[in-house]
Amino acid sequence: MRYWLMKSEPSEYGIDDLVRDGMVAWFGVRNYQARNFMRDQMRVGDGVLFYHSSCAEPGIAGLAEVVKLAYPDASQFDPASPYFDPKATPDRPRWFNVEVRIVRKTRLLRLAELRDYPELADMRLLQRGNRLSITPVDPIEWRFIVSKL
């Protein structure tokens, strides 16, 4: 079992949306490294820290889990979608998504609070210049964070 941090802008799709829907296809990822994490490494049952980004108070807002392995992201084929990719074809998809389901909404564990814990000093989220929407989380970091939620 692996652990992941997955970022979403709450104005686009937040933890309350996931609570309402129960499950979502994590579509729209257009970074090759993040895509590769989903396509090549995520497995059913992996834990997810649902992270609110690009908002007034960024932070971990809930726990989720991967419930479906990677498959082609349909938005890449839709010319009306902001995630359309004219180079992608059904025979040669470029972008993938997994499906995640809500485990539970948590208190918001703010980015500023995460930075205060020396136990998380090496966490990828907290490294200078990290902009990836999906990053692996070390099992020790996972356990520590879950204990604070």
This prediction has a pTM of 0.94
| CA–CA separation, 133 and 137 (whole Å) | 13
Would you say 124 and 37 are in contact if contact means Cβ atoms under 8 Å apart? no
Give the angle 41-74-19 at the CA atoms, nearest 5°.
70
| CA–CA separation, 23 and 7 (whole Å) | 15
Q: How confident is the model at residue 128, as a pLDDT?
A: 87
Domain topology for 3-137: ph1033 like fold (3.10.590)
pLDDT in tens, the chain (149 residues): 999 999 999 999 999 999 999 999 999 899 999 999 999 999 999 999 999 999 999 999 999 999 999 999 999 999 999 999 999 999 999 999 999 999 999 999 999 999 999 999 999 999 988 888 999 999 999 999 999 99
Q: How confident is the model at residue 131, as a pLDDT?
A: 84
Q: How confident is the model at residue 132, as a pLDDT?
A: 87
Q: How confident is the model at residue 129, as a pLDDT?
A: 82
Q: How confident is the model at residue 8, as a pLDDT?
A: 96
Residue spans per domain, the chain: 3-137
Q: Order of strands across the sheet with 23-25?
A: 23-25, 96-110, 59-72, 47-52, 3-8, 134-137
Beta-ladder partners of 47: 3, 65
| CA–CA separation, 51 and 74 (whole Å) | 23
| CA–CA separation, 42 and 68 (whole Å) | 9
